[in-house]
Amino acid sequence: MKGRKTLSIGFEDGVLALLPRLRRFAIGLSRNPVDGDDLCQMTIERALSRRESYEPGTRLDSWMYRIMRNLWIDERRASRRRSQTFVSEEAGAFIGAAGAQDAAAELGDVDRAMASLPDDQREAVLLVMVEGYTYREAAGIVGCPVGTLNSRLVRGRDALLARLGGTV
């Protein structure tokens, strides 16, 4: 009984302690705080409903990041489908573009440069260069070979360097 209780306390407190980092990753992925916190909420809910599949003693942070990242990918796919429908049926591309431009104007250089990256590169950049994971750990979270992660990272980096030059 003691073991079980200690375990469940550890799980919730563990996630709680990770929240600032999870928010940082979520905001980086989704590119704004509102969507980031939505993603965070979905991640916590998913984690709580799947807590049995978490193996005690393994890294809770990687497990949580993986959940978040998978939810985000699902969400991106769904919204891409939605926007394709929107553009073709309503021919509303201009409205969308204007809105996106306004939003982009409020972002700083780094945010804009990050937003210009393809999702897979942005994710790799965030995991390694912001969250501080090794290539192997980041590849484990993304679920791809280390070599793939490495080349996404390099492409993302080069694009960022080209955009930001020495301003970062």
Partner 1 sequence: MKVTREELAAFADGELDFERHVEVERAVAADPDLERAAAAHRALRAGLSTHYAPILDEPVPEHLRTLLQRKGSVIDLDKRRQSRSTTRFNVPRWAWIAGPALAASLVLALFIPRDTVSERYAGGQIAAALDDQLVATQSADAPVRVLLSFRDRSGDYCRAYSAVDQAGIACKDAQGWRMIEHFDDAKTAGSEYRQAGAASAELMRLAQEMTIGPALDAAQESEARDKYWKKEP
Q: Which is nearer to partner 1, 89 or 136 (CB)?
A: 136
CB 60 within 8 A of CB 54: yes
Closest residue by Cα to residue 30 from 85, 94, 73, 84: 73
Tokens of 131: 């969250």
Shorter beta-carbon distance to partner 1: residue 6 or 84: 6
From 155, 156, 157, 153, select the one nearest 144 (Cα to Cα).
153
Total number of residues that touch partner 1 (CB under 8 A): 44
99 binds partner 1 (CB under 8 A): no
Of 100, 110, 143, 145, which one interacts with partner 1 (CB under 8 A)? 110
55-71: buried (b, 16+ CB within 10 Å) or exposed (e) per residue? eeeeebbebbbebbbeb
Query: Cα(43)–Cα(26) distance, rounded to whole angstroms?
Result: 9
Task: Between 2 and 91, name the residue whose CB sits nearer to partner 1.
Answer: 2
Tell me if 35 contacts partner 1 by CB under 8 A: no
**Residues found near partner 1 in the complex (CB under 8 A):** 1-2, 5-6, 9, 12-13, 15-16, 19-21, 23-24, 27-28, 37, 40-41, 44-45, 48, 108, 110-111, 125-126, 128-130, 132, 134-135, 150-151, 153-154, 157-158, 160-161, 164, 166, 168
